[in-house]
Structure formats: structure tokens, C-alpha cells
Amino acid sequence: MTALLLLAALAYVTAAATGALWMAADAGNRPRPGLRVASIAAGLLAVIAHAALHVLAWIASGGPDMHFFAALSLVTLGMSALTATVAWRQRLQALGVVVYPLSAIMLTLYHFFGHLHAEELDWRLLLHAWLALLAYATLSLAALLALALAAQERALRTRQIRGWLRVLPPLTQMELLLFRCIGAGFAVLTLTLVTGLLFVHDLLGQHLWHKTVLSVLSWLVFGWLLLGRWRWGWRGPRAVKLTLLAMALLALAFFGSKYVLEVVLHRHETM
């Protein structure tokens, strides 16, 4: 599997590098569409290799691994898959410049440190786990879009639109994409919480009460933001701040608790 890891990492680095070169060329009014195609193709190849490495690991261990480094790798896999899909239709190679190297790092950590015993999960808990990973991936991408939107708005206010900001979609299109991403992530997060309440028992015994509380708080913030967007047209700095706040709560809910339990205390929890 080392060869597959090298292929995925090399493809991720290539996707990020060609995406950065395309952005630089486009910002300098020297468009090179071949670089954009190369970045998307390398990103798709990296995603396939990344997913294949997890599948082979699961076959070898007899089931899915959802522990700390495995979960990190799977979330970045989802982020990369969504980035490659969005970049195909939108001018968002800037996301790939951040997401692809992050995916390469998390996949490498998983390969060397993350292979633990397979978790015994029935189909209900497995569904809950996959929904959780998809929600984290989608909403993490929304957080990156919020940061890009904040940088774009600041540049517009100061009239200093330079570098990679010049190749982003227009501000209104970025806002629309952000709220679509939040809406999709919110829907999946809702399903995650519902399946958790239905299928996970003994929250205190499974060390899940803190995760549940923080996840619900994050869900409430995202829901409040979507309501504010629909009812009062919220946008700009308020939308960015609420998005980052909700994502911080969600990150603490999952990866914060998972890190403390599994890496610090050497305990394992159900997703």
C-alpha cells in the first residue's frame, strides 16, 4: 500500500501545484486552461487513490476503521472529492491549493499511525458514522469558503484585489456557494444527529455526551445562520463569523473529544 500512498500524495501535490500555477497565470492575464485541467485531473486521481488505500486497509483488517487518524483522513478525502467536483464547474482552484496538501498530510498520518483494529459496527451505527464524516467534510469546506469570502470582502473594501483573490468567482457567487454548502452540510448534520439519537445508546457510558452537546450547539448555530439568511438576508462578516463559530464547535465535538480519548487517554469510542 506504500506505492498507493506515494501515488495519492504525488497526485495531491501535483493538483495543488498546477492549481496554484493556473491561478498565478490567470491573475496575470495569461490564462493557461491546460493547467486547470491538469489540476482537476490530478485531484480526481488523488481522490481515487486515497479512497482505494482505505478500502484495501479495511479489507486487510476485516472492517472499517473509524479511529482518530482514519477519521481525519476520511474527512479530508471527502473535502478533496467535493473540491474536485466544485472546481470542475467553478473557478475555485484556490480551495484545492489548501485542501489537497492537507489531504496528503492526513493520509500519510493515517498510513503510518492510524491502522488500528476494525470497529464492530452494525449497519445503523455505520450509517451514522458515514453521515457524520460527510457532514464534517461538507461543513469544513464551508468554513474554508467563509475564510475566502472574508478575504475577498476585505480586499474589495480596501480596493486591493490582488493575487489569488483575482481568480475567485464574484462575491455574490461566492456567497451563494457558501450558503449552498452550509445548507447541504446542515441537512447531513441533521441526519447525523437523528441517527445518533435513534441508534446510539448509553451516551454517558460511551463518552459521547460532550460530543452530543457540542454537535447540537453547532447545529443550532448553523440553523440560526440559515434562518437569518432566509428571513433577514444575513451575509458578509456576520455569516462568516457564525460559520466559523459553528465549525469550531463541530471540530471540538468530534476531533477534540476523539483526540483526548484515543490519543491522550488511549480509549476508543463509537462514532
Question: Which percentage of the chain shows pLDDT scores above 70?
Answer: 81
Overall average pLDDT of the 48-64 stretch: 88
DSSP track, 196-224: HHHH---TTTTT-HHHHHHHHHHHHHHHH
Are both 109 and 126 inside the same structural domain?
Answer: no
| Residues 140 and 263 grouped into a single domain | yes
**Host domain of residue 236:** 121-271
User: 218 CB contacts (<8 Å, ≥6 apart)?
Assistant: 189, 246, 247, 249, 250, 253
- Domain C-terminal end among 84, 119, 154: 119
At 143, is the pLDDT very low, low, confident or very high (cuts 50, 70, 90)?
very high
- Domain termination site, one of 74, 97, 119: 119
Residue 4 has pLDDT above 70, yes or no: yes
For the stretch 86-101, pLDDT in tens is 876 666 778 888 999 9
Most confidently modeled of 1-10, 113-122, 168-177, 207-216? Answer: 1-10
pLDDT band at 2 (very low <50, low <70, confident <90, very high): confident
Same domain, 97 and 165: no
CA neighbor of 130 nearest in space, from 118, 121, 143, 117: 121
Same domain as 252, residue 160: yes
Domain edge (last residue) among 89, 119, 149: 119
The answer on 199 and 160 residing in a single domain is yes
Residues 6+ apart with CB under 8 A from 213: 253
Residues 106 and 158 in one domain: no
| Residues 115 and 125 placed together within one structural domain of the fold | no
